[in-house]
Amino acid sequence: MVTHKTIQLPPFKRGIHLISKFLTIELTSLPANGLLHIFIKHTSAGLLINENADPDVRSDLEAFLDKMVPENEPYFKHILEGPDDMPAHIKNMFTGNSLSIPIIAGRLGLGTWQGIYLCEFRNQSSSRQIVISIIS
């Protein structure tokens, strides 16, 4: 059986934001076993699973992505929405737009130090839509 639900996240400032709690609020009951699939319906933001114990990890990840894909490069042609437009799409390519997490004994099968993150790459972001699907 597959169930789908679309959730609207509030706007987040540019950065990497822990959204595990937003998802668990929406997932009031999980099957005993299955698979949770999370998909973001945007190309200028991304999703990832990473360490959630030390907030420095988030700022270090963001700094690395900003260094890897700087803004205002003269070779970017897709800048209609600002200098962060094309870099946001490239950063999405690195982080991805979906995650799959096992459901084990009615709980998300994340590791002890893992959290689910929204990577907001735009300076002026809007709310983001995420589709969550449960396959049981």
Q: Is the dihedral of CA 28, 1, 115, 112 positive or negative?
A: positive
What is this structure's pTM?
Answer: 0.94
Residue 11 corresponds to which amino acid?
P
Distance of CA 21 to CAs 40, 52, 70, 92, 118, Å?
16, 12, 31, 22, 12
Domain at 9-135: CATH code: 2.60.120.460
Domain limits of the chain? 9-135
Full pLDDT tens readout for the chain, 136 residues: 999 999 999 999 999 999 999 998 888 888 999 999 999 999 999 999 999 999 999 999 999 999 999 999 999 999 999 999 999 999 999 999 999 999 999 999 999 999 999 999 999 989 999 999 999 9
